[in-house]
Structures are given as C-alpha cells and as structure tokens.
Structure 1
Amino acid sequence: MRPSLKDKLSSLPDKPGVYIFKDERGRPIYVGKAASLRGRVRSYFQRSGQWSPKLRAMMRRVSDLDFIVTENEVEALLLECTLIKRHKPRYNIRLRDDKQYPYLKVTVGQRYPRLLFARRMEPDGARYFGPFPDSGAARRAIRAVAQIFEIATCKYDFDEKPLRRPCLYYHMGQCSAPCVRNISEADYKERVKGAILFLEGKYERLLCELKRRMEEEAERLNFERAAILRDQIRAIERIMERQRVVSTSPESKDAVAVAEFGGWACGVVLVVREGKLLERRPFPLETAGESDKGALLSAFLRQYYGSAPEVPPKILLPFEPKEMGLLRGFLSKLRGGEVEVLVPEEGSDERGLVRLAEENAKVALSQFMPAVAQKEPEEALLQLKEALGLKRLPERIEAFDCSNIMGKQAVASMAVLEWGKPAKDEYRRFRIRAENERPSDVDFLKEALRRRLRRALEGEEGWAELPHLLLVDGGRPQLSAALEVLKELGLDKDVPVCALAKGAEALYLPGQEGPLILPRNSPALHVLQLARDEAHRFAISYHRRLREKEALESVLDRVPGIGEKRKGVLLEHFGSVEAIKGATIEEIASLPGMNRKVAQRLKEALEELGG
C-alpha cells in the first residue's frame, strides 16, 4: 500500500459522505457512499480474506482514494448517483451507457413552446419526460403527440421572427404552424397544456378538459374549433382502449424489477398512471460482476430515478432491497414529497403487477444478452483457455478488424471483451496512415496493432492494460502479421494470439499447421465469434461514417458560396448527404453563416446528383 494511501486512511472522518477509489492513473474505478467514511473505507483493507472475486479484482487496482463529506446519508446517496453518472466507474453497477438515454423536452418558457428530442436534461426551465429506453421509443412518442395536438417539433426558434411559410408537417396535419402565426398564442398554449397532460399520463383529466372546451366552442358556434377538439378526444380514447387496466383506483405508480443471469442484468419499470399501464421501460445494467439481486435492485432504483424528471408517489418492488429506509429518503428527496416504497402482499392486484414486471425483466434480459451470454461466461472462458492452451483465463480479449474500399478510407477497430462481455468504453478506432504505395489488409492490420501495443509499452493512459488474448479477423496471413508485430515489440511471449476465419469458423494458432475447428455449439467459439463480430461491426460503422463525410465534402466543394467555414458548420450539423436531403431549405438557412440563397443552391446540387 502506498504511503499516501495509508495517510488518507488514517485521516478519514467519522462522518457521512462519498468515497472514490482510483487506479494508478487517477481514474475513478469505484464510487461508494457511507454513513461513516472512516468505518466503511477502512473495512475494505481489513478483511481481504473475505473478498469476492469482483472485490479482489477491484482492490488490486486501488492506488488512491478521495472523499467528500456530506450532511447526511441521503445527501451522500444523491452525490454518489451524480458521480457514478459523471465518471462511469468500472466496478459500479450502473445503467449501460454506450448511449445516453433520451428524453422529451417541452420548451415551456417560450411564447410558442416546442416538443423536442433531447439527450440530457438541462437546467433551462423546460419540462422533461423520460428517460426512454431508446431513441425509437422517444421519437414514436413525439409523433403521437404531434398527430394529436399539432404542436411544433422542429428546431427553429420562431418566437420573435416568424418564418415565411410553414413546413411539410403543417400540410401533413402534424403541426398547427405557429412559425407563421397560423394559430393564436392562447390557442397554441392550450394545445401545449394538453400535450403535457398526455405525456404525464393524466388522460381522464385531459379528456374532461377537452370535452368541456369542445362544448364551449360548440355553444359559440365555432364548429371548426369544436371539430378539432373532437378529433383529439377520439385519438386519446383510441389510445386508452389499447392500454391495460391494472388498478381500479386512479393511482400513479411504478412497478420495478430486475433479472440477472451469468453476469448480465436488466431492470424494468412498468409505468402506471391513473390505473392504466402506459408503457414498459427496460434498461440493461453494467453489473461490475455483482450477482446479488438486492444490490442490483437498489443500484437500479438509484440510477433510474436519479436520471428521471419525476418520481411517482408509489413504487412497488418484488422484495426489500438493502437500506430500504435510506432509499425511501433518497426517492422522497428527489420527488420533493413523500414516496411510498413497498413490497405488495401476496394475492393483491399490486403483487400481480410486480410479477408482471419480473416477467418483463426476464424477457428483456434475454433480448439484450448476446448468444454467448446465455451460458455462464466463466465456463466459456475456461473452455477457451483449455482449447487454446493458454496459461491463464482470457479475462480480457481484444479483437481487431479492418475495413476499406480499394485501399481508400482504410480504418481498423479494436473491440474488447471483459469476462466474455463487450466492454464498449474500451473500444478503439484507428484511421490508417499506411506508408506503402499499394497497402493491403495485412498492412492495415499491422499498423493498427503497432499503434495499439506501442501505446501500451509507453504506459499511455487508457492503453496500458495488455490483452490476455489477441484475436484477429482472418486466417494464416493475418495471424502471421500479428505474430510479426508482437515479436517486433518483444511481446510475443506475453500476449497469446489467434485468428478466426469467417465462414468455416476455422481457428488458426501459432505453431500449428492446420486450423482448429471447434464445435458450432461450443461456448468457447461463441466468445470468439462475439469478439470478432463486435470488431467487424465497429470497423464498418466507422468506415461508413467516413465515407458519408467524404461524400458530403465532395458535394459541398461543388456549391458556389460554400467555403471552409460554411462547410465546417454543415459537416458538424448534418454529417451526411442523406441528412441534408431530409432537411428543409429553412433548416439549412438557419445555421450560422448560411442564408436562403446558398441553401437553395445546395439543395439543387443534391437534386442534380440524383437526390
């Protein structure tokens, strides 16, 4: 143990707070909360014989620690959630975050509020709804709201300066065109108010309000306005008919459950508003090796509601997680009022709802898990170790693949599996800078391997950990190329390597003349296939992005009036030709440095190219 770490352990206060374990590069690898920082943190260093495999692996990496004192344990729990979201520590249970879960945003502070897709909540005074499990679910909600209430979903800020003419959404009946003042500010805000009630799931209250207004408009002989309200009422009633009634009382509550298997886990929230089941929200979890369902449920509750815009007054659970009282305080603090957290009694309707949540969590887990994860990952790694004759369990596998078209826009990718699971925050991309006049795929692979392994030898942050198994996509030539680089860098004795050829799924190993053919149902083969396929997918997606960018640059270079500055703005905002094709002239013209004339030229250039 480092002297500086010993000094910090001896000076820990006997107060509530948050502690942060860091690795030798100062990166947070675990964030925890404690009623007593002194007692909790010291306990890690006093019971090494009782450590779980996960804890043993974590403590081997701990080189430093930091802590923050808080007023009480609830404040510590709030701070812990914030730090986990910020740092994404390797050994914390958390929502898988290869993407940020999306929200819907209503810009209520504007004269003409808009409904927008948002990747994060900002302190901007807007109303947020979510998080949604994926962008598709969020965009479907936007379309439903737009079709019923006809509120704007575009990015234009037209509060002060109206546009000249409405866009296509107006003609499709999905927007009332406040951008051209086609609707009064008062009428538009009534629609926004209805949309917010709809997003809150307060359908009964919304229907009463719409029916009241429809009758008022009819009495005033304003039949056109009454017909619009009638259509909104019918649309909402059709949605309500499709929803399952799960409670005779008009309560708002969530039922939460988690499922776990083989190091994979998934949490599910069933959203019930006014007695009706509105939606299922599944979220895969990074378990950090944790398999205790109580710890997983507690972490999921903290992570999900710590990111949610609102907390319901009641939350139903399948069992009591650890620190139930602390969780109630945490959730009540987030809500700004008391939250009832309970385990329903057997035989009750609410118990049935919790069972439904548990069943949905199991189904969602089976959908999120790759085929390799249907078996215990440690067993698959043991089989792989024996099949390849490795000295140790391949806890970290790095797979490499290359992608190019006739040698152009060549890229390589590195995918990483840790304990048989994709560690997506460890993935890396390489844009190839081959020096040969006519480089081949083997040359591209060599360059990527050299760059990756040299960074490891230099101890560069994020690259220093060597793989326990190096996998290259291909056959004998790719294996020979990898061996050449390893010998060149003096790593041939430290890093085992193999190549996996597509189709026959033949495995090529150093020193063996013929390939090794593993059974098609072999868990060891499934691990290698997952690693190779992840590397291939990652390389293809990067290559496609570069091709789209190059195609867009080519189009922009042909348009008079688009110089480097405007080109940079367009590339950053749209990123591809297809994205510009789908944009309106007004949207293009609204970007910094652009105007309608240049936007018109750009659209014409795309049409000439077959757009």
Structure 2
Amino acid sequence: MNPKLRQLREKAMNLPLSPGVYIMKNKSGEIIYIGKAKALKNRVSQYFGSDRNHQEKVRRMVSNVDDFDYILTSSEFEALVLECSLIKQHQPKYNILLKDDKGYSYIRISNEDWCKISHVMQKNDDGATYIGPYTSSWFVKNAVDEARKIFKLPSCNKCFPRDFRKSRPCLNYYIKQCCAPCRGNISLSDYRERVDSAINFLKNGNVGSISELEKRMEIASENLEFELAAKLRDRIAAIKRMADKQNVMATRLAEQDIIALMQEGNDACFSVLRFDENRLFDKEDFLLSDIGSPETARSEFINRYYSMRDKIPPMIMIDGEVESVELVEMWLSDLAGRKVHIHIPQKGEQMRLIELAKKNAAEKLAQSRGHKGSDTSALGELAELLGLKKVPEFIESYDISNLSGSFNVAGMIVFRNGKPYKSSYRRFQIKSFVGQDDYASMAEVLERRFKEYELHKGEEGFGTLPDLILLDGGKGQVSAVRPILERLGYGNIPLFGMVKDDKHRTRAITGDGGEISISSKRSAFTLVSTIQDEVHRFAIGYMRTTSKKKSFTSSLTSIDGIGETRAKALLKFFKTIQRISDADIDELMNVPTMTRPAAEAVYKHFHKRDN
C-alpha cells in the first residue's frame, strides 16, 4: 500500500469541482499517468480511496504515486484535447501507448535480366527500380503477392540463369502460381513480358491492367497469334478472379475504419481494418497489456491511434462501448475538420466486418501467447455473450453423477485459455447426506472447493480462483450455489448453468435472469459444448470407478475376518480382484493390517475348488 495515500487523498479532496487534467508523478518526479476529468475533485479522490473496485493496473499505478499536479480547463472537451497533447509529449507509463512503426513501403524491381518483384520497407541505392512510397505495408505486400500469382512470377530466392535445372520446381509451379524459370523452359523475352505486365498491374490497378491486356489480346487474335491470345485471356481471367476476392472485402461505405478489441488475461489486442474507396486498403494490430476496463481502453486507444494518423474517416465502427464517446467524437471532428461518427453496429455488413476485425485481433493475440486464434476468439465471444468484464482465462465446470442415488460423486474440470487443464481437475465424494439431491450435492461441492482455496492460495488447482464457473444444470443448480459463494465472499465470480436439450446436447446458458441462447455464437457454442461434455465424462467416469471399487470391496468383506479396512488395503496393494485370487498366503501377509488367519481365509475363499 502507498504510505502517502492519506496525504494524497487530503490533497485530492481540496481540488475544485472543475474540468481539467491531472498529472500523476512518482518519487523521481517522472510523469506516470495523465488523465482528464469533468470534476477534478471527484475523479482524483477516487484513486486514493478504497481500491476494492479498482482494476489491477490502477492499483499498481496508485501504489507508485508520490504526488500529482493538475491543470484547470474551461470545459471537458478542452481537457480531452490537452490530455491527448500531454500524453503524446510525455508518453506516461500507465497510459495506453501505441508504438507508431508506420513507415513507408516500396515495390522493388531488381536490376537484372531475370528481375524479381518484391515488397521492401526501405529504398536503397542499389540500382533497383522502386515504386512508391506507400503508407500501408499490408497493402503493398498483398498487391505484390497478387501480381506474382496472376502473372506466375517466382517468389523464391533462386538466381537465374545460375540456378537453371539445378533442382525441382517448388509447389507454386504445380498449383499454377509460378512459370518456374528454374526449369529453364521459358525464354527471357517471355519472362520480361510477364514482369512488365505485373508492373503495369501494380501501377494502374485492375481496370487499367485489364484494358491494356484486352487490347493486346485483340491484336494477337487479328494476327492469328492464338496461343498468345489464349495466354492473355487467362491473365485477364486471373485478374478478374482476384478482383472478385477483393470485392468480398468491399463495403457500401466508401471510407471507414473498423476497430475491435480482444482480451485474454492481462493481455489485449486492438485490430484496425481501414477502408477507402469501398475496399480494404490497410490492416494494423496493436498488442497491449493491463488496459483496464474495455470502455476506457477503447476511448484511450482511439485518442492515441488518431493522434498518430493524418487521415481520419467520417465513420468509425467499433465493437463496444466507448467512454465519453461524445467528447471523443468532438475531438476527432475537430482534428478532421468535418463531422466524425463513432458507431457500434448490431447487424448486417458492418457487424460482419466487426467480427472479422475481432478474428484478426484474436489471431494476433493468440500468436503472441502461443495459443490458437480460434480458442481466443471463442473465449471472447463467450465473455461478450455473458457480459463478463474480462475474457475468462480459467473456467471451472462441475457435474454431479450417481447410480440411482448411490455412489454420489462430483467432478471439477478446469479449462485454461480455452483448453483442458487436466492437472487442476479434482474429484469429490458427497459426504453430507445419503441419496440423490443434485442441488444439495452441488452446493456441498462448491463450498468445499472454496474452503480449499483458503488453505491453498497461490497453488495449482484449488489455489487458483476461476474467472468463470459453469455448472452442468439449470437455474436450480445456480440458485443452490449462489448463496454459498456470497456467504464465503466470492459472489463476484460469474456463475452460470449449462442447459441441455432432451437429446442431452448443450442448448443454452442460464444465470439468475433466465436463459441465454448461444447457438448464434458458433465458437462460444462449440467451447461450452466441449466443456459440458468433458465435465460429464470426468464425473461419470469417477462414479463408475467408485461403484466398481465398492463392489469389489463388498465381495471381499463377505470373507470371514475381512472388514472394509482390510478390503481396501487388499485392493490398494494388489489393484485387482484377479491378482488377489492369484496370490499365495505369504504374499497376502505382506498387505498392511493382514494377519495369518485373515490371509488363510482369503486364500481359501478363492481356492475352494482346489480344496
């Protein structure tokens, strides 16, 4: 805890109820956070009061604050403008900061007879020809890849004619995406003609390139050069196919940006899809950590991102709520010199683009953490569906299993980052009553689980608190467990039930307020179904093992001198009934608690026929 907390709170309580900017500093006088406020006293005093509702990032920041300054402004909008300017100037540690690595990109045509086309980030004095500069490296890379595929140009590092016929062609030749000069079967003039056509395509785009090729095809046909005309026809078809693929990414809005956030644990990623002239022309991803609440993070991200960009579109689509959205729109409009709107789409084409941006963010975030993008995407969908404050890293699920009221047991499984985390699986035998009562069983299991947490904090398994609890069952199970969590002080952990249909398949998720359909969210549906199937498998497997052991124990307790304790000791020592029956008296005597009369009784029981 910060030793100066009381002193800082007293200073904050003396601030005016006016709009302004506050500047937090550490012991060295370094600025570590800059924020804006509509009422400085109310906002700043919140930092130095109870930290119960603070995000972890805020707690760490407050623990490092030694003093703060403030600047009064005439309006909240002026405070926002000043905040953005100061953050850009000082780059404080606890504000969202974006690394602006947006350099220029070029298309490079090497200076040699068998020249190659490539995408580069720098223009060097090497005799090569450069087309550019372009601001979007993503656009240039995709354009070069398209040109290579359409005109079947090599993308390998082979040098021609040095490497003619020295190795077999690569896969691109066999899938008709390379003319394979390495085979030595294409003339230099034909190769250079392909390169010139590709350069024309890159400079003039689809329409100009198609027009030029169509003219050449007509001339070839008139001159009865049918083979050349057929080649040109194929290139035109390839360009049109590529254009059709691009049209999949076309929008009815000529200019707009799509922004989506994906979180996993303390890490997050913003993905931005930029559209101009109705088509996607750029994509950017930003990896961040400890961003706090999504609403605040989106607001800060927009402020930081567009303070680094000259071009601001009239429409910005985003995947969720933005803190102080009206102020942010005013600031963007002031920067752009025209009206800028921020919109949260709910359906249709824009919603499809938001989902695409989320998928990109999930994939980038998963790569950085060594996971699969599909797992991150599914967790994000689930968090959005259930209204969770953050994407659940640890999910615990519980199921009860019994055999007509006997052998009453429960299984607890853990999914970490969307995958089974089997080292944290746990099993329970119901102890508080005899018979079948799923509600009481679930309540007992959850109470025992969280009491174990108090004993094993920080350890694997019981020592880790879940971010989400899923019970196999409906509202009854949730209602039975909720009071237990609240009584033990864990009522803030999200708790839901997994509801099955009459065919024992996952149908919905239920909480305190009714059922939530998950069929529309494919990734989340698959994840929940997998969790429900896994916890059912684990619980019923434990029940069958327990019933089998108890059946074996019962068969042994029918022997004179063998009680339940000795029966369990025999099973633990020999593992199976068959091995017990094969054992001689001396081997049976090796079992703890066994006496010679007891060993002889067991031996005689399994060797009656021999006797």
Task: Give the TM-score normalised by structure 2.
Answer: 0.40
Q: Which gives a bigger RCO, structure 1 or 2 (Cα 8 Å, sep 6+)?
A: 1
Q: Larger Rg: 1 or 2?
A: 2
Task: Give the TM-score normalised by structure 1.
Answer: 0.40
